[in-house]
Each structure stands twice: as structure tokens, then as C-alpha cells.
Structure 1
């Protein structure tokens, strides 16, 4: 299998030494993704707006891999403040409601106090309809 690295262009990936996503076979692992808008390197002040940006960032990485948020099979949410989580529910449902992946929520500190949520995702690239299922 060929391993392919995907970058969002975030300076953090180069400075720290990681990829936004890694593709191997039909699996895509997307790194923990915060609410930074990488084009402007800005972050919204509230958790729901950051969750929206997280999903835009994750969707962009998945598109480079050949899949969408509908192909997500596993997701991990990290939220420093429990009080922020309920405001994110509608955002999560809007972006993952069709996929309904297995999910875990952890309350933990993030890299900076401005970061209110981080989302990590795993997806499977869909097979073309003519390709037989692995068995």
C-alpha cells in the first residue's frame, strides 16, 4: 500500500512535524483539527464557530483523500470546557448526521486557551460501485 500525506498548509504542520491527514489504502486518518482558519490564521472566540471551522478543515483534507464527511467512521472530540459542548451539538449533527460515526468526547486542555474544541476523524474512502467488497 502507498502512504500519502495531506497538508492543510498550516504552519503548525511544518513546525511541529505532522500531517493534516494520512491516507493508506482506503483509510484516512485526520489529525486533531482545531478551529483555525488556516488562510488567515485566525480563530473565532466561541466553540460552535470553531467547530464549524474544524469541520471545514477536516472536509478539505478528506476531499484531498477522495472522500467526504459522510465517509467518517470514527470521531474524537476534545473540549476543554464542558459548558461549551452542548452548543456544538447542532454543528456536529449538521456535518456528521448522515455518517453517524462512532464517537468519543474527552474534556482536556488544548494547545492555547483560545482553542475551544479539537476534532480528530477517521474515514474510509468509498469503493467504486463496480469494485467487489473485501471479504
Structure 2
């Protein structure tokens, strides 16, 4: 089973693509050295890679584990290592709206935020895609 939150992924991917475009074209003055242009090209390439990974953020639930595919890293968590999935905790993004993120609580009491399926909450409510995904992950954990 695959879980995604496409609006947030698209927003992040577009933001990183805009950043890549800025570094690829407009960041270096015409008198910049070849080394400076090469460095900015490297930054643009890194931004492009992160943009592509943002567009593909997801959680994949298999019989053996949960695999989190984020913009910077991937992580696999065995079902046996998961104690519970709490509905979602709220964070604040740019002081304008909340970000809801399912939290996976491990048997070692460590908390892993499921960032690939975070979603924005404009009304401050708890009926977001992230909340629904957290409930589905908990149901999957209980059945495995």
C-alpha cells in the first residue's frame, strides 16, 4: 500500500525547481569566474535532485516493514519495531498555517516523524490527509 500527499509534494518540488532555476541562471554575475559558475551549477543540480525526490515522497507499507521515501533520505522500519502511530502532531510553518505529520512511535520510545506524508492544515483542524494516513498506518500495524 502506498501513501502520498500530492499537494504538499508538488509545492515543495516546485519551490526546489525554482531554486534550481535561480542558481542555474540568475545567481552568478556575468563577471563570475568559471569556478563560481561551476559551484552554482552544482547547487542547481542538487536542488533539482531534491525537487525530484520531493515529487516522489511517499510511504510504502509492505508485509515486512514501512519504507519512508523522503526528499533527503529513505528509511525502513520493521512492523515489530513500531509500538504505535499517533494521529498527528501539529507544527507551525511560516506562522501562517499548521503542518500535520503522523508520528511513528518505536518500541525504543524513539519518535519518527513521517515527513513524506505531512500535510498542511489551513483551518487548524485534525481532518487532514496526514491524520487519515496515520489512522490507516495504525490499522495496518494492528493487523500485522
**TM-score (structure 2 length as normaliser):** 0.25
**TM-score (structure 1 length as normaliser):** 0.26
Higher-RCO chain (CA-CA 8 Å, sequence separation at least 6): 1
Q: More helix per residue: 1 or 2?
A: 2
